[in-house]
Every structure is written in C-alpha cells, then in structure tokens.
Amino acid sequence: MNSPKEKKYRSKFLPLFLAIALCTGLLGLLLSMILTGFDIRAFQWKVVFAVIFLIAWSLTWTTIIVLYYTITISESGIKGYNFWGGYRFVEWGTTKECRTMNLLGLKYLRIFTLDNRLPLWVPMFLNHLQDFKRNIINLTDQGNCMRSYFEKERGVSP
C-alpha cells in the first residue's frame, strides 16, 4: 500500500509497445524465413497469422510490463527494478552514479549504488516524466546523481 508521501510512475505504453513489436517482428521474420528455407512463396501465407500473433503478443507483454514494473519514489528513496526485473529499494544517500542507456530505442537512467549491486533501470519514457523529474529534484540532496542529471536538463526547475 502506498503511503501518502509515495508516488508511483508507470512507463508510457506506446514506446514500449513499438519496441517490443519491432523486436518480436524482426525475430519472427528471421525465424520464419529460416524455417521456410527462404522460400518467399511458402512464407506468404504465414504473414497474416504472424501479424495477428505479433500484435497480440506485443499488447500482452506491454500491458504486463507497464502494470507491473513501476517506479516508486518517496522521501527516503526510490524503488525500481534492475535489468533482470528484480525489485529493490535504494535510499537517496546510497546512489553514487547515474548513466544513461539506450535499449531498443528506449532511454533508461541506470542508478548505481554504493553497495555495487545491479543498478536500477529508470525508464525515461515514464508517464508524467516532468513531474517525476521535479519530485526527484525536490526530494534529493545537492550532489545526488539523479538530481544532478535532471538539473542539467533544460526546463526543469524545483
């Protein structure tokens, strides 16, 4: 249950859907071509089924990811997930470095901590991203890597 001072953020649906659909589509196309021996005539009848499956698969996984993988911030820290989907809470004072990463066209801010565990991956395609940035600036101390990162961006002020 959320305390009144916690705020949850979810990823935007469309960018995530497009990345999943593109990735799945390219892998499916390659696999289909390999299985049909690169025979275009044998491949053509499968296209309609493949497109329907691709859309259903992408919608399902995007919905699961958007609903389950949230980012929660509070006065004491941030709760998020690592690359493998594991959740953990990080106190603001334990962050040591932030680095951006582009994965399949999706930008993430990776938060490294003093305990050297796997970094948190914070999507930079969150719904209400400007609100998220302002809250990070207001909740963190001067020198926090996330605060420094967002203060460098234009248009963000406390």
pLDDT attached to residue 45:
63
- DSSP H or E stretch at residue 65: helix 47-68
Q: Which residue type is seen at 2?
A: N
Are 10 and 70 spatial neighbours (Cβ–Cβ below 8 Å)?
A: yes
Q: Which residue type is seen at 90?
A: V
pLDDT attached to residue 116:
78
pLDDT attached to residue 9:
96
Residue 41 pLDDT grade (very low, low, confident, very high; cuts 50, 70, 90): low
Decide: pTM greater than 0.85. no
- In the chain the domains, ranked by start, together with CATH numbers, are 7-68 (no CATH), 72-152 (2.30.29)
pLDDT attached to residue 28:
76
What is the spatial distance between Cα 28 and Cα 139, in angstroms, rounded to a whole number?
Answer: 44
- Contacts (Cβ under 8 Å, ≥6 apart) of 8: 2, 70, 71, 72
Per-residue pLDDT of 68-93, as tens digits, reads: 999 999 999 999 999 999 999 999 99
The predicted model gives 12-35 an average pLDDT of 85
